[in-house]
Amino acid sequence: MSTHQHPPYPHPPLVVEVSGDFACFTRPELKSERFSYEVMTPSAARGILEAIFWKPEFDYVICRIEVLEPISWFSIRRNEVKSLISEDWVRRAMADATVRYDVEGDRDQRNTVALRKVAYRIYAQVQLKPHANEHEAKYREQFRRRVAKGACYSQPFLGTREFSARFGEPTIAKPIDECRDLGVMLHSIGYETSGETCRWFRAYLEDGVMQVPPNGLELPSAAPAKTRT
C-alpha cells in the first residue's frame, strides 16, 4: 500500500532489543475481541522508544523490525467493562456522591489472542522537528546511554500496559528463518482535532525481518468505543 522508501540518512540507525513473556499488538479493526498482529507494529515500536527517551524536538522513524523468537500464540478470556469513562462523568461523580457506576451491568466477557515469549530488534532514525535547536547527535547519544543503563521515563510495554517489556543493547541474536505475508498492518496513528487517523502499510516478513516504510497510507479510523455518560 505504501512504496515510499527511506531517504538516505547521515547516521546509522539507533538499535535496541526488546523482549517479554507476552505481547498483544491489537488490530484496530478488532477492538471488541483483541487479536494481535503476528509481529510488533511500528506504532508499538515507536511507543517503546519514546518510553525510553523522548523530547518534543524530534520524532523516531522506524526503519525495520527483526523478529528474534518464533511466533507463538496463546488466548485468554477475561471480564471487562464495555464502556470508557469520560471526563464529564468523573466531574459529576466527584461533585455528586449519588452518581454510581454499576460494573455488573456494564461487564462483558472478551477473548484475547496474544503472543507468547517475544523478542525484537528495532532499528530507528531520529528526525528533528523545525523548532529543534540541538544537534541530532546529542539526542542519539542520550538515547544510547539510557539503553545501556536500562533507564526509561515510563515502563515500556508490548502492545498493552499489562505486558511489560525488557530492553537492552543489541546482541548477536539472529532473526528467525521465516518468510510470510503479514497483510495490511497499522503503521501509525495521527491525532488531530477532528479525531484519530490510522496509517497503514503492507507488511512482509522476509527471513525474520520486516521493513517499515517511512509513511503509511491514511484511512479514516473505526468509530471510537462507547463512552460512559
The per-residue pLDDT for 3 is 52
Neighbours of 165 (CB within 10 A): 24
- Structural domain that includes position 42: 14-81+110-173
pLDDT in tens, the chain (229 residues): 545 688 888 899 999 999 999 999 999 877 678 899 999 999 999 999 999 999 999 999 999 999 999 999 999 998 888 777 788 888 888 888 888 888 778 888 889 999 999 999 999 999 999 998 889 999 999 999 999 999 999 999 999 999 999 999 999 999 999 999 999 999 988 877 777 788 999 999 999 999 999 988 886 554 444 544 4
Query: Are the CB atoms for 204 and 211 separated by under 8 Å?
Result: yes
Buried b (16+ CB within 10 A) or exposed e, 185-197: bbbbeeeeeeeee
CATH code, domain carrying 151: 3.30.70.2660
The per-residue pLDDT for 80 is 80
The per-residue pLDDT for 105 is 80
Domain count, the chain: 1
Task: Name the DSSP class of 207.
Answer: T
Assigned domain for 29 exists: yes
Assigned domain for 94 exists: no
Residue type, 210: M
Assigned domain for 140 exists: yes
The per-residue pLDDT for 225 is 47
Assigned domain for 122 exists: yes
Assigned domain for 21 exists: yes
Query: Are the CB atoms for 169 and 194 separated by under 8 Å?
Result: no
Residue 92 host element (H or E): helix 87-95
Assigned domain for 224 exists: no
Assigned domain for 1 exists: no
Assigned domain for 87 exists: no
Buried b (16+ CB within 10 A) or exposed e, 126-153: beeeeebeeebeebbeebeebbeeeebe
